[in-house]
Every structure is written in C-alpha cells, then in structure tokens.
C-alpha cells in the first residue's frame, strides 16, 4: 500500500495536549486564548429585573394624577356626547320623502332606520344615499 492518502481520503489525527492535561478538564488552557477566571453570573437577570422594578416604582401614578386623568376622560366623553347630540339635531331637521325611504328599503333590503339615516346624512339625495350604502 501507498503511504500517501488518495484524493478524497481523510486522515484522522490524534492530538495530545502538550501540558499533560486531559481534554475533559476545564482548567486546561489553550495557547493564545484567554483563561476564564471569572465564574458566570446566573443572577444577572435578577439585577436587570431589579432595575426595571425600581424604574416602575418611580413612575407610579399618584392618586392626584389618577383623579386628573379621570376628569380629562370625563370631559372628553361629555364633549363627544354633546357633539353627537348636535349632529342628531341637524340630521333631524333634514326633510326626506317617504317614497325615497321605501325605495331604499326595498332595493337594498335594509331597515327603515338605516335607510332614513342614510337619506338624512345625504340631505335627502336618493342617489348619493344608495351609492353610500352600496360602497
């Protein structure tokens, strides 16, 4: 047999550590690499959690802030409700024909309330109301 490896053959080399330590020992150092002197910290997540909770405690909402927020929300709701009532009053002033309501109800098979609402929103214009309901 020939001592030279043929193309595609793989030779396995057995390496032995120079300093006499086994490959399973953690204390062996590889030349050119840094030794790991510091043990790994498993409590780093706890430290991060502590920082997050400290931040959250600093940002807690006080009772005054809560009362202020609730009053702002209440004011906003009352303004929205008032605007809605104003809109309904304006829509109620629009005159619509009974025949137009009947036509929309029959053609689109919708309730009288929806047909009237659409007609009022489009100032009694049947064509615009039908287009809006079909889109």
pLDDT in tens, 39-97: 555 566 777 777 777 776 666 667 788 889 999 999 999 999 999 999 999 999 999 99
| Global model pTM greater than 0.75 | no
What does the alpha-carbon distance between residue 75 and residue 68 come to, in Å, rounded to a whole number?
A: 11
Kindly tell me the burial class for residue 105, based on how many C-beta atoms sit within 10 Å of its own C-beta (0-12, 13-18, 19 or more).
middle
Mean pLDDT of the chain: 78
Q: Roughly how many angstroms between the first and final C-alpha of the chain, as a whole number?
A: 87
Q: What pLDDT band is residue 17 in, cutting at 50, 70 and 90?
A: low
Q: Which has more confidence, 111 or 36?
A: 111
Could you say which DSSP state residue 61 is in? P
pLDDT of the residue at 1: 47
Residue 8: what pLDDT?
54
Q: Is residue 125 predicted with pLDDT exceeding 90?
A: yes
| Percentage of the chain modeled with pLDDT above 70 | 63
Question: What is the rounded average pLDDT of the residues 7-18?
Answer: 55
Average pLDDT of 102-126? Answer: 94
CA distances to 57, 81, 93, 123 from 84, in Å: 40, 5, 15, 17
Task: Average the pLDDT over 33-41 and give the result.
Answer: 53
Concatenate the DSSP letters of all residues of 84-118 into one string. HHHHHHHHHHS---HHHHHHHHHHHT--HHHHHHH
């Amino acid at each position: 047999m020939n001592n030279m490896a043929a193309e595609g053959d793989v030779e396995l080399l057995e390496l032995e550590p120079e300093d006499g330590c086994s490959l399973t020992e953690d204390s062996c150092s590889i030349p050119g690499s840094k030794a790991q002197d510091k043990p790994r910290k498993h409590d780093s997540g706890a430290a991060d959690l502590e920082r997050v909770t400290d931040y959250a405690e600093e940002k807690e909402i006080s009772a005054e802030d809560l009362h202020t927020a609730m009053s702002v929300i209440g004011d906003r709701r009352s303004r929205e409700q008032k605007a809605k009532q104003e809109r309904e009053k304006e829509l109620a002033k629009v005159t619509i024909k009974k025949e137009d309501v009947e036509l929309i109800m029959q053609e689109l098979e919708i309730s009288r309330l929806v047909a009237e609402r659409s007609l009022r929103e489009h100032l009694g214009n049947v064509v615009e109301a039908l287009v809006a309901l079909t889109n």
